[in-house]
Amino acid sequence: MRKTIVAGNWKMNMDLEEGLSLARSLDQYFRNTPSGKTEVIICTPFIHLTGVSDIIKGGSIKLGAQNCASEVSGAFTGEVSASMIKSTGAEYVIIGHSERRSYYHEDNDMLSKKTGIALDTGLNVIFCCGEVKDEREAGVHFNIVKCQLEEGLFNLDAEKMEKIIIAYEPVWAIGTGLTATPEQAQEMHKHIRSLVRDKYGNSVSDNMTILYGGSCKPSNAAEIFSNPDVDGGLIGGASLKKDDFVAIVEAG
């Protein structure tokens, strides 16, 4: 069964107490008002993981990190490994966010390595893909996403691929207030699902959750999520405000 998911990406926002306070209010809300068929994930900075994990224990919210190291363990000062993330109680990790690709020069090879390590550790991966503005304007966006998936993900076997959630995030829509139209989102999601189908067959592609990300907000979420190949969203800015995030989850 294909899952509907709304995942918040807190990015590098909120100190520890602010983050725990947001987690407490989300946890309280979703314990009293279950999110129905929509799974709710919050992807916090590393330092929040353990505290948030304690808060959400026994509730319905799931926890994720926003990145992990490309090595398993050892002398890699400042890095955080997939197994450290797992040990906090987190079940998900975002890999390949466009901010990691552009500011930290993470290429498809590195993302493929991180994805393999995260899956071997038992984490589920939210794998991001998406084109920049120039690529869309040049009409090469379908090819760009194809290449990101082929090089970053398609070395996985079918069993591992079932643990992947793909997030299509057009880079020109992230944090800009510009959103893909529902038609633009649907045509890219359909393209992604057909690439997965060509490589892995109907069962993997039909069951794959494909999220949309890029300036999703309460006013546009329902229309975007209503497309047949859009299975929820990865939410940046709006995930920092409890009421906005709840409204987006409820649009799922």
What is the set of active-site residues?
Answer: 97, 169
Which residue in 64, 83, 61 sits closest to 74, CA to CA?
83
Q: Which of residues 141-200 bind ligand PEP (CB under 6 A)?
A: 169, 174-175
235 binds ligand PEP (CB under 6 A): yes
HSE-CB of 100 using CA atoms within 13 angstroms: 22
Residue least distant from ligand PEP (Cβ): 236
SS3 of 220, please?
Answer: helix
248 binds ligand PEP (CB under 6 A): no
**Amino acid at position 158, single letter:** A
Quick one: which segment of 105-113, 119-127, 137-145, 234-242 binds ligand PEP (CB under 6 A)? 234-242
Answer yes or no: are the C-beta atoms of 241 and 14 closer than 8 Å: no
Residue 12 DSSP code: S
Considering only residues 4, 112, 124, 215, which one is a binding residue for ligand PEP as defined by CB under 6 A? 215
Burial of 122 (C-beta count, 10 Å sphere; 0-12/13-18/19+): exposed
Least CB distance from residue 248 to ligand PEP, whole Å?
Answer: 9
66 binds ligand PEP (CB under 6 A): no
Considering only residues 237, 245, 249, 252, which one is a binding residue for ligand PEP as defined by CB under 6 A? 237
Quick one: which segment of 17-25, 75-83, 140-148, 209-217 binds ligand PEP (CB under 6 A)? 209-217
Distance CA 241, CA 237 (A): 8
